[in-house]
């Protein structure tokens, strides 16, 4: 009987601890993020005279997860992570950017970098751009200075040689190598 009571007490304490963790931040572990928002956006080559997708052109999918992250020792913050899968111009270094209208997009931001292999497969640089693996504090997209505010912001994959990281601006226009968004994005 004594063993039974101790076993039951242990089960009740375990259940209480798990329930307390869920009540605290919605997950079993105070350090586990809980999904809040998921977005999937197609980015593709476009004909800049019509802004329609180029038939048979390069394209990719951008996946964006934003979530609340924190525990009792750290304030909750909105974090996000992104993933890009697809194809673009082969053997090219790219930047994933938030492009804020008007030209040259100087109110936008660099989100990450990637390159393509000889077949055009996109390879993300997760080591130098944490948005591709563990996530970052979620940027606000769009910003009030964006001509598309408050509807959403443009996410583009542009050749690294066409973008100035210091000024957050496009410095060249090679639209045949750019993957443009098919829909606007809002974060957080």
Domain limits of the chain?
Answer: 1-32, 33-181
Q: Average pLDDT in the 58-81 region?
A: 78
**Residue-by-residue DSSP string for 111-145:** EEEEEE-TT-BEEE-TTT-GGGTT-EEPPPBS-TT
For residues 14 and 107, give the distance between their C-alpha atoms in angstroms, rounded to a whole number: 50
The region of weakest confidence among 21-35, 134-148, 172-186 is 21-35
Beta partners for 116? Answer: 122
pLDDT digits 0-9 by tens, 70-118: 666 666 677 788 888 999 999 999 999 999 999 999 999 999 899 999 9
pLDDT in the model for residue 82: 85
pLDDT in the model for residue 1: 44
Residues in the chain: 188
pLDDT in the model for residue 74: 64
pLDDT digits 0-9 by tens, 13-35: 333 333 333 333 444 444 555 55
To the nearest whole number, what is the mean pLDDT of the chain? 80
pLDDT in the model for residue 188: 76
């Amino acid at each position: 009987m004594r063993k039974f009571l101790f076993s039951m007490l242990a089960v009740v304490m375990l259940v209480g601890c798990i329930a307390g963790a869920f009540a605290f931040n919605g997950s079993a572990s105070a350090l586990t993020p809980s999904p809040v928002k998921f977005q999937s956006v197609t980015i593709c080559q476009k004909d800049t005279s019509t802004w329609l997708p180029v038939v048979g052109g390069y394209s990719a999918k951008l996946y964006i997860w934003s979530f609340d992250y924190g525990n009792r020792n750290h304030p909750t913050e909105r974090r996000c992570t992104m993933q890009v899968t697809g194809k673009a111009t082969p053997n090219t270094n790219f930047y994933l950017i938030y492009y804020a209208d008007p030209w040259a997009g100087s109110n936008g931001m660099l989100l990450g970098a990637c390159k393509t292999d000889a077949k055009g497969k996109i390879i993300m640089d997760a080591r130098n751009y944490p948005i591709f693996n563990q996530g970052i504090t979620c940027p606000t997209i769009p910003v009030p200075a964006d001509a598309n505010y408050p509807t959403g912001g443009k996410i583009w994959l542009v050749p690294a040689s066409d973008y100035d990281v210091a000024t957050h601006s496009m410095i060249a226009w090679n639209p045949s190598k750019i993957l443009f968004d098919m829909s606007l994005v809002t974060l957080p």
